[in-house]
Amino acid sequence: MKTQLLICCGSGGVGKTTVSAGIAIKAARDGQRVCVLTIDPARRLADSLGVAGLGNVASPVPVPGATGQLFALMLDARAVFDDLVRRFAPSPLAAERILANRYYRFASSRLGGSHEYMAMEKLLELAQSGQYDTIVLDTPPTRNALDFLRAPERMSGLMDQGVLRWLVMPASHGGWRALELGSEALAGVLKKMMGRETVEEISEFFDAFRDLWDGFRDRSAEVQATLRGPLCRFYLVSSPAAASQAEALFFLDVLRERKLPFGGFIVNRVVPAPQARESEVAVPASAGLPEAVQAALRATLRQRAALAADHARSIAHLRAVGPADAPLWVLPDQERDLHDVERLLTLADYLP
């Protein structure tokens, strides 16, 4: 089964999780087998889907009237990392040695970019499992999503043999000399900063990890290729607020730079223009209501019209500066937070 990958990116507070859940629910409604995956550490997806908790395995989410099936998964970076170590380690003993290393236990959940890297790993795993028609990925806010794209490079940079030699081999073995710099002085700096014991533990970790590196590197390359592939699309989610649109455009540049496929803009929480004009609102005198009522009704209409005009300008701007043929979806502002599947289904017409 060829799996389509839809990746939603955007700044914080734009409703990215709601949009991701909405896209997944729509695809399930229309007969696809879909998995929605989040790496957001703030557990918003579970909230959005109105389910109590999501684990590291895809759990089914019922969609009323759907001809397809929806699954949701919240990433546990640590568990994914452990799985990888077991898979790539040359022996169970070697795997245990890594899993028991104190530095590993810290790094696997807190390493900069580890959540992002593991999300990609999971994405690839799910895509290759052939179990889904579509996988929707909800990424963390933009600055982190950039980390998300950089994660494979960072990981392979870290796993570079150069780092290994530098850290693991004693100076007398010649490994350090390859770097031409005063490596002993550098090691001194590290030890001075973090204490000898810590640096030695980290070195031990890298040593134990050596056998896994090729596996990891190949995986990183595979992830990169998949993201650039014909079945992948990045959606840029924003609200009508200027700051979130600036973020979306910033991210568009990043996609271009990295030759990643742009799927379109999704603008969330857009207030539609009221039909009536303020002056048309008249409370009949016969109702016997105080004048303040008419004033309040007119004020609501006026504020709403101003907001709608603001939002329309904002969308026009996005169309003007974005690529000429860029698809753009506009989601009307919802009166309240949507966090159950039935309400999210009402968004289907406004989503890709």
**Residue 220 in contact with other proteins, rule: CB under 8 A:** no
Rounded least distance, CB 45 to other proteins, Å: 11
Q: What is the DSSP letter of 287?
A: G
Q: Which amino acid is at 14?
A: V
Hey, how many other C-beta atoms are within 10 angstroms of the C-beta on 226?
Answer: 17
**Nearest-approach distance from CB 194 to other proteins, in angstroms:** 5
Assigned token pair, 94: 């070697």
> What stretches of 235-346 show up as alpha helix (H) in DSSP?
242-257, 291-321, 341-345
One residue of 257, 280, 291, 325 binding other proteins per CB under 8 A: 280
Sites for other proteins among residues 157-176 (CB under 8 A):
157-158, 160, 162-163, 166-167
Would the CA dihedral through 15, 18, 21, 23 be positive or negative?
Answer: negative
Residue 134 CA to residue 151 CA, distance in Å, equals 23
Interface residue with other proteins, options 221, 243, 321, 328 (CB under 8 A): 243
Which residues ranging from 301 to 320 are in contact with other proteins (CB under 8 A)? 301, 304, 307, 310
By CB under 8 A, the residues from 189 to 218 that bind other proteins are 189-190, 192-198, 202
- Residue 298 contacts other proteins per CB under 8 A: yes
Among 169, 254, 255, 297, the residue binding other proteins under the rule CB under 8 A is 297
Q: Where does this chain touch other proteins (CB under 8 A) — which range of 52-60, 123-131, 257-265, 276-284?
A: 276-284
**Where are the alpha helices (H) located in 50-160, listed in sequence order?**
77-88, 92-100, 102-110, 114-129, 142-158
Using the contact rule CB under 8 A, the part of the chain among 57-65, 124-132, 224-232, 274-282 near other proteins is 274-282
Binding span for other proteins by CB under 8 A among 54-62, 87-95, 131-139, 141-149? 141-149
CB of 134 to other proteins, least distance (A): 24
Residue 282 touching other proteins (CB under 8 A): yes
- Given a contact cutoff of 8 angstroms between Cβ atoms, the answer to whether 158 and 170 are in contact is no
Contact 145, 20 (CB under 8 A): no
177 binds other proteins (CB under 8 A): no
Query: Which of 172, 275 has the CB closer to other proteins?
Result: 275
Residue 74, amino acid: M
Nearer of residues 87 and 110 to other proteins, judged by Cβ? 110
Nearer to other proteins by Cβ, of 168 and 232: the residue is 168
Query: How many other C-beta atoms lie within 10 A of the C-beta of residue 250?
Result: 14
When the beta carbons of 253 and 325 are compared against other proteins, the nearer one is: 253
Tokens of 194: 């973090």
Q: Which is nearest to 251 in space by CA: 339, 144, 342, 332?
A: 144
| Candidate residues 3, 32, 134, 244; the one interacting with other proteins per rule CB under 8 A | 244
**Residues 6+ positions from 119 with CB-CB distance below 8 Å:** 37, 39, 75, 77, 137, 139, 148
